[in-house]
């Protein structure tokens, strides 16, 4: 706890005062970058920087702090290279200066890049300001567009549900063309959206459309109800047609319990990434579990291992996925900014400066107006769990 608390004190010295990270002694003009994260510094510390929570550490602080940790490590690396950057960190949970006030202020007028970890409610505010000031905005965490349209300055790194379903559909066509396919789902608005995306792909595919059998289940469904829809003499691919993590967990456990009798593979939704830590447990043995993720990182590259070793030595912990996201977003887009300078906004789709994984930033075009709405990362990795082991599959 002392390690984490000390780190937070360092954060407060920079973020609360909105101090600048002067990255180098270069004679070249520095590029100004603004980074926003929910650090909750006013909640964590009192007016004289005393930590409010004694020996505990509130979970709600973790995502923003972890993101910031990755940002700082990337800035440290670029500073050693002499990168001409001037970086400002803003706490989106500051009671002294709300986001809307910061985004409207003149201090951001000369910023050339905004990187934000934000909520869905905040996204529209960020996107509007980015378009108004003509500053590229990179969102690192949300898989939704927040209703943003006609905005050539907005970049999403976390792929939308629509993109996931498109990729899942093609993945099934390629890898499971001869399987019986059953979509187990629950009733709900998001479940209907998943079904509509699957059906849309069936209508637009240039290949043979999948034959999908939809089965609605109640929350308390049991293994007997699943068996009724499965054939022990055939290979079956089950799609978990819900984003509900409890539904996905229950479906996975019950299918695993009958994996010796039924030849079943399971395709999960992107929310399976949140429950995947359970898949190494014995009760999941025997079931092939696959889901898509834009952020899969086996952590075998040099940078990932260096970050992992740093956390083990300094914080006695393992870096979270959000640490990695903070690092790669800061590194990649800052590098693009330095290289392309005034033409940075026109080069957001460049496939350069990837760190842990590839990004495929593509324009999303409004089909009704035929205009650019925003940019989205379309690169997805398929992750397979089997008998406690994980690997990336194509």
pLDDT tens digits for 258-314?
Answer: 999 999 999 999 999 999 999 999 999 999 999 999 999 999 999 999 999 999 999
Q: Clarify whether residues 250 and 185 are in a common domain.
A: yes
Residue 371, in any domain of the structure: no
Going by pLDDT thresholds of 50, 70 and 90, the confidence category of residue 25 is very low
Q: Clarify whether residues 141 and 18 are in a common domain.
A: yes
Residue 372, in any domain of the structure: no
Q: Clarify whether residues 11 and 139 are in a common domain.
A: yes
Q: Clarify whether residues 280 and 335 are in a common domain.
A: no
Q: Are 345 and 326 within 8 A, CB to CB?
A: no
Going by pLDDT thresholds of 50, 70 and 90, the confidence category of residue 66 is very high
Q: Clarify whether residues 41 and 127 are in a common domain.
A: yes
Q: Clarify whether residues 114 and 167 are in a common domain.
A: no
pLDDT tens digits for 87-133?
Answer: 999 999 988 888 999 999 998 999 999 999 999 999 999 999 999 99
What value, to the nearest 5°, has the Cα angle with vertex 81 and ends 77 and 84? 100
> Could you tell me the pTM of the whole model?
0.91
Q: Clarify whether residues 170 and 217 are in a common domain.
A: yes
Provide the pLDDT for residue 2: 37
Q: Clarify whether residues 272 and 283 are in a common domain.
A: yes
Q: Clarify whether residues 34 and 103 are in a common domain.
A: yes
Closest by Cα among 360, 354, 302 to 331: 354
CATH number of the domain residue 177 falls in: 3.40.50.2300
Residue 271, in any domain of the structure: yes
Q: Clarify whether residues 43 and 111 are in a common domain.
A: yes
Provide the pLDDT for residue 315: 86
Going by pLDDT thresholds of 50, 70 and 90, the confidence category of residue 27 is low
Q: Clarify whether residues 170 and 260 are in a common domain.
A: yes
CA dihedral 67, 70, 76, 79 (to 10 degrees): -80
pLDDT tens digits for 231-244?
Answer: 999 999 999 999 99
Provide the domain limits for residue 230.
Answer: 161-293+382-393
Provide the pLDDT for residue 394: 86
Q: Clarify whether residues 73 and 33 are in a common domain.
A: yes
Structure letter (DSSP) for residue 202: H
Residue 373, in any domain of the structure: no
């Amino acid at each position: 706890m002392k390690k984490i608390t000390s780190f937070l004190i360092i954060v407060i010295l920079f973020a609360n005062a909105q101090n600048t990270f002067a990255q180098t002694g270069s004679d070249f003009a520095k590029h100004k970058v603004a980074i926003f994260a929910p650090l909750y510094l006013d909640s964590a510390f009192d007016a004289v920087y005393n930590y409010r929570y004694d020996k505990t550490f509130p979970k709600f602080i973790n995502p923003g702090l972890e993101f910031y940790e990755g940002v700082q490590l990337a800035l440290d690396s670029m500073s050693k290279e002499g990168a001409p950057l001037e970086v400002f960190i803003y706490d989106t949970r500051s009671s002294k200066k709300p986001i809307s006030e910061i985004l409207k202020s003149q201090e951001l007028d000369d910023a050339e890049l905004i990187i934000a970890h934000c909520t869905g409610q905040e996204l529209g505010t960020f996107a509007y300001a980015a378009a108004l000031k003509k500053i590229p905005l990179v969102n690192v965490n949300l898989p939704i567009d927040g209703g943003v349209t006609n905005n050539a300055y907005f970049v999403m790194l976390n792929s939308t549900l629509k993109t996931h379903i498109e990729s899942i559909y093609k993945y099934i066509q390629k890898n499971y063309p001869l399987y019986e396919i059953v979509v187990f789902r629950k009733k709900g608005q998001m479940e209907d959206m998943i079904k509509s995306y699957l059906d849309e792909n069936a209508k637009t595919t240039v290949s043979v459309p999948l034959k999908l059998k939809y089965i609605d289940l109640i929350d308390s469904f049991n293994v007997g109800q699943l068996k009724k829809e499965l054939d022990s003499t055939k290979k079956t691919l089950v799609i978990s047609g819900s984003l509900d993590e409890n539904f996905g967990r229950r479906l996975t456990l019950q299918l695993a319990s009958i994996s010796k009798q039924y030849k079943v593979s399971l395709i999960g939704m992107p929310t399976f990434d949140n429950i995947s830590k359970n898949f190494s447990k014995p009760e999941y043995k025997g079931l092939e579990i696959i889901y898509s993720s834009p952020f899969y990182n086996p952590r075998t590259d040099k940078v990932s291992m260096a970050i992992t070793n740093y956390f083990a030595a300094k914080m006695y912990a393992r870096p979270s996925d959000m640490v990695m996201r903070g690092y790669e977003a800061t590194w990649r887009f800052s590098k693009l900014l330095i290289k392309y300078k005034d033409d940075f906004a026109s080069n957001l789709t460049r496939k350069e400066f990837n760190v842990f994984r590839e990004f495929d930033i593509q324009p999303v075009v409004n089909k009704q107006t035929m205009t650019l709405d925003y940019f989205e990362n379309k690169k997805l990795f398929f992750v397979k769990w089997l008998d406690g082991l994980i690997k990336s599959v194509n």
